[in-house]
Amino acid sequence: MERHGRDANAAATPRPALALAEAEAGNDPYCAITNAPPDRPFVIAQLGQSLDGRIATLSGESRWINKDAALDHLHRLRALVDAVVVGVGTVAADDPMLNVRRVPGRHPARVIIDPSGRTPPGARCLDAGDGVRRVIVTTPEAEVTCPGVECVRVARGENGAMEPARIVAALAATGFKRVLVEGGASTVSQFMDAGVIDRLHVLVAPVILGSGKPGLGLAPIARLADARRPRTRVYVLADGDVLFDCDLRT
Ligand SMILES: NC(=O)c1ccc[n+]([C@@H]2O[C@H](COP(=O)([O-])OP(=O)(O)OC[C@H]3O[C@@H](n4cnc5c(N)ncnc54)[C@H](OP(=O)(O)O)[C@@H]3O)[C@@H](O)[C@H]2O)c1
């Protein structure tokens, strides 16, 4: 694991409103996105969690495990991708807006993975006010009745879910090559198990919930030797949260 920064004793703090040119030139947590290969999709995923690995309380409350700097970072990620993707469980629990409000930058398209068409028509991320594309990824048979929202249809695979690799390919075909999978745990975990995530940002807050919804839940491994140990950079954010920037292609 690499601790990032000029001073070996002080980890670097990513500035939330980093200009695009600086991100392209520098060695920061945004380079992987701005330098993403143009000839294939690039997928970054994020999870904000407590010290004990929870992304929400048992009642589903997840605001605000992380503090301002981590939220700024999340909005910066949003501003750098073509589309932000969430599972319908997150829409039902949090009704997020999924836009860029905390930093300068453009709003990404908003994508909900919703195989059964249960997204509430009034979901805030489907609001057309900022003019971005809004997409529901669903199955060929599902009925989706959200006016003005595009549908991308992906057949269910053998396990009953839509294969993440097919979702990524379908989104790329519709113009979204750089994608941020923002949650929840089930969606990020499926994408990680399928090997389609290039970069994982885990934002750990120094708070202990002691119970609640776990973050990643991957296919079980039998031996420690089988655990993933991606090349990771660590950034201590200004208000104490810690960003683990994991390169899942290593
Ligand atoms: N701390 C954080 O960073 C963070 C971020 C986001 C959300 N959250 C929290 O996470 C919780 C929600 O997470 P969650 O894991 O329950 O739900 P989720 O990942 O948001 O959504 C899961 C649902 O999305 C659909 N889905 C996702 N991928 C699919 C695929 N490949 N094929 C078919 N369907 C797919 C399924 O819908 P169906 O159920 O209809 O089949 C699935 O049950 C909430 O409590 C929220 O507050 C935390």
Question: Does residue 236 lie in a domain region?
Answer: no
| φ, ψ at 156 (rounded to 5°) | -70, 145
Question: Does residue 246 lie in a domain region?
Answer: no
- Answer whether 187 contacts ligand 1 (Cβ < 6 A): yes
Q: Summarize pLDDT for 101-132 with one digit per residue, the tens.
A: 999 999 999 999 999 999 998 999 999 999 99
**CATH number of the structural domain spanning residue 109:** 3.40.430.10
The fraction of the chain above a pLDDT of 90, given in percent, is 85
Which of 65, 113, 182 best tests ligand 1's pocket when mutated (most atoms within 8 Å of CB)? Answer: 113
Q: Summarize pLDDT for 209-232 with one digit per residue, the tens.
A: 999 999 999 999 999 999 999 999
Domain count, the chain: 1
pLDDT-based confidence at residue 133 (cuts at 50, 70, 90) = very high
Give residues with Cβ within 8 angstroms of 196, minimum separation 6.
Answer: 43, 164, 165, 168
DSSP H or E stretch at residue 50: strand 42-50
| Model pLDDT, residue 26 | 55
d(CA 217, ligand 1 centre) in Å:
12
d(CA 90, ligand 1 centre) in Å:
5
- Which residues constitute the domain of residue 109? 42-215
Question: Does residue 247 lie in a domain region?
Answer: no
Give pairs for 244-248: CB < 8 Å, separation 24+. Answer: 244/200, 244/201, 244/202, 244/203, 244/204, 245/29, 245/32, 245/199, 245/201, 246/199, 246/200, 246/201, 246/202, 247/32, 247/198, 247/199, 248/192, 248/197, 248/198, 248/199, 248/200
What does the radius of gyration of the chain's CA atoms come to, in whole angstroms?
Answer: 18
pLDDT-based confidence at residue 202 (cuts at 50, 70, 90) = very high
| Model pLDDT, residue 158 | 95
Question: Does residue 203 lie in a domain region?
Answer: yes
pLDDT-based confidence at residue 63 (cuts at 50, 70, 90) = confident
- Answer whether 87 contacts ligand 1 (Cβ < 6 A): yes
pLDDT-based confidence at residue 17 (cuts at 50, 70, 90) = very low
pLDDT-based confidence at residue 60 (cuts at 50, 70, 90) = confident
Name residue, tokens 């398209």. 109
Q: Does position 21 have pLDDT exceeding 60, yes or no?
A: no
- Answer whether 54 contacts ligand 1 (Cβ < 6 A): no
pLDDT-based confidence at residue 84 (cuts at 50, 70, 90) = very high
Question: Does residue 28 lie in a domain region?
Answer: no
- Answer whether 142 contacts ligand 1 (Cβ < 6 A): no
Question: Does residue 47 lie in a domain region?
Answer: yes
The pTM of the whole model exceeds 0.85: yes
Q: What is the mean pLDDT of residues 139-168?
A: 96
